[in-house]
Structure 1
Amino acid sequence: MIYFTQMQGCRIDDANGQFAGYLRDLVFVDGKKKAGISHIILSDENNNRKKISWAYVSNIGLNVDREVITRLQLNDPLLKIHPLFVAGGELLVGDIMDKQVVDIDNVKIVRVNDVL
């Protein structure tokens, strides 16, 4: 199982190994049973926030000993990827951390500490 806090802040490189930025957040789409990740939000060397489709993520580097994600690898060079601007109203993992959510299937309130 991967937790968001294990990924947050990890390095993101493109297919050529060029630095793209650091992971800041994840955009998710609510589903019937589980939510799916649709985009990553990164901050580049100028601290600009950009949104890139999860489909561009080709590899997740994991340090098993420390149980932490070390980097995300994109499947295309950065020049071929057209990032989007972060729009208001999107569901972000960071926005629900440390909040109370209602599980409507089991009708209970759960505190969200870490999700994925």
Structure 2
Amino acid sequence: MTYIVNDNCIACKYTDCVEVCPVDCFYEGENMLVIHPDECIDCGVCEPECPADAIRPDTEPDMEKWVEFNRKYSEQWPVIVTKKDPLPEAEERDGETGKLDKYFSEAPGEGG
């Protein structure tokens, strides 16, 4: 098992999860985070830290696409280990559906 970040993170990018991760497997895009599935040790400490409920175990239904999504972008984006402020529109976008098609950016974040 591994954990993944899904589209609930897009346009929110809460980073509470990165500080509790013992293996630094989070990577930062311009408007979301991803988890490298090969680096995640399945400890689960990040899942309850996410206010947007964007971190899910890959054992849930239909998670295969998110495992590959997380793998792809974790290999392109910089690692993030330090908590940052969420995006300005985070509260407004939290819980919104269809964010992958509406807001997702492939651009990397700053990392750090």
Of Structure 1 and Structure 2, the greater helix share is in 2
Q: TM-score, structure 2 length as denominator?
A: 0.29
Q: TM-score, structure 1 length as denominator?
A: 0.28
